[in-house]
Structure 1
Amino acid sequence: MSVVIAFIEALEHVEETGDVEPMARLFAPEAELCNLAVPNVERGTDGARRFWATHLGTFRHVRSEFCCVVEGERVSALEWTSRGRSLEGVEVTCKGVSLLEHAGGKIRRLTTYVDAPPPATVRKAA
């Protein structure tokens, strides 16, 4: 199975169950994970657990869909849209791109670029 397919399947699992372990196992021990909207960089498989737990912790519910996936030998790009509800019950739609650097079947670096809507454009859930 390709790294990209494994990543997409693991993200579906994370968002459906809250279990970050299958995702964490995809990352190399020296991996770096960063979301440019968040100041800190996470490292390694423990960092992957924290990264994905933080992702889940900002939503009551979230689902991501991939609209464009480009898989390369060492670098892959995934364009996505995530829709869900924030902890405050606000409907949220975020769009972004995640770059995966990978080798030997493991993700070495994840960088996520997010275009989140400004707070004035989100709607309170009914």
Structure 2
Amino acid sequence: MEDNDIRQDVTREFVAALRAAEQKGDVEDLVALFSDDAELFRLDGAGTRRGEAQEFWQQYLDQFKEISTQFTYVVEGDGDAGLEWQSTGTLANGRDIDYVGSTFLTFEDGKILGVRTYYDTAAFLEVPASTG
């Protein structure tokens, strides 16, 4: 999917800011897209967070030595968007990772009010060597 396939400015800005954060390791531009009380959720057991965009995205980046996300599909509505993606990279422990997921955004007046991210959590599990 090319960025020019994305119709809504907020969705396009989110994609660009996430890519920049992954490349530079700086989440400031990404965080600036979110309202102060945005609801944030991902499958990490922490549940829904409110107003913690800085921590949310920094914790995301801290899992990796390097990571790159390719967006493969987008559906946009009036005030929301759904994005499918695939991320590849290296975890902080040096293990390679390749996983897929979906991110759902809600927004209003140019600010992201909520993000919900669902992904293959099994990709993060350490698989013990077979003793077979």
Q: Output the TM-score relative to the length of structure 2.
A: 0.84
Instruction: Provide the residue aligned with 1:102 in structure 2.
Output: 107
RMSD: 1.5
**Equivalent residue, structure 2, for 1:124:** none
Cα distance in structure 1, aligned partners of 2:89 and 2:49: 24
State the identity as a percent.
Answer: 34
Partner of 1:21: 28
What corresponds to 1:92 in structure 2? Answer: 97
Separation in structure 1 between the aligned mates of residue 86 and residue 14 of structure 2, nearest angstrom: 15
Higher mean Cα deviation, 1-10 or 35-44? Answer: 35-44
CA deviations on 1:17-50 (whole Å, 9 max, x unpaired) are: 0111100110011201110233243322xx1111
What amino acid sits opposite 2:105 in the alignment?
L
2:82 to 44, 64, 77: 77
1:5 aligns with 2:5: no
Give the secondary structure class of the aligned counterpart of 2:127. helix
1:68 is aligned to: 73
The one-letter amino acid paired with 1:84 is G
TM-score, normalised to structure 1's length? 0.88
Give yes or no for the alignment of 1:30 onto 2:37.
Answer: yes
Q: SS of the residue aligned with 2:38?
A: strand
Contact 1:42 1:50 in 2 (8 A): no
Q: Is the 8 A contact 1:66 1:80 kept in 2?
A: yes
Unaligned runs of 5+ in 2: 1-7
Question: Higher strand fraction: Structure 1 or Structure 2?
Answer: 1
Alignment length (residue pairs)? 119
Structure 2 counterpart of 1:35, which letter? R
Superposed CA deviations along residues 67-118 of structure 1, whole A, max 9, x for unmatched, are 0011211110000011010111100012100000111111101000011325
Q: Are the counterparts in 2 of residues 37 and 114 from structure 1 also a CA contact under 8 Å?
A: no
4+ aligned runs moved over 4 Å, structure 1 = none
Query: Which one has a bigger Cα radius of gyration?
Result: 2
> Is 1:58 equivalent to 2:76 in the alignment?
no
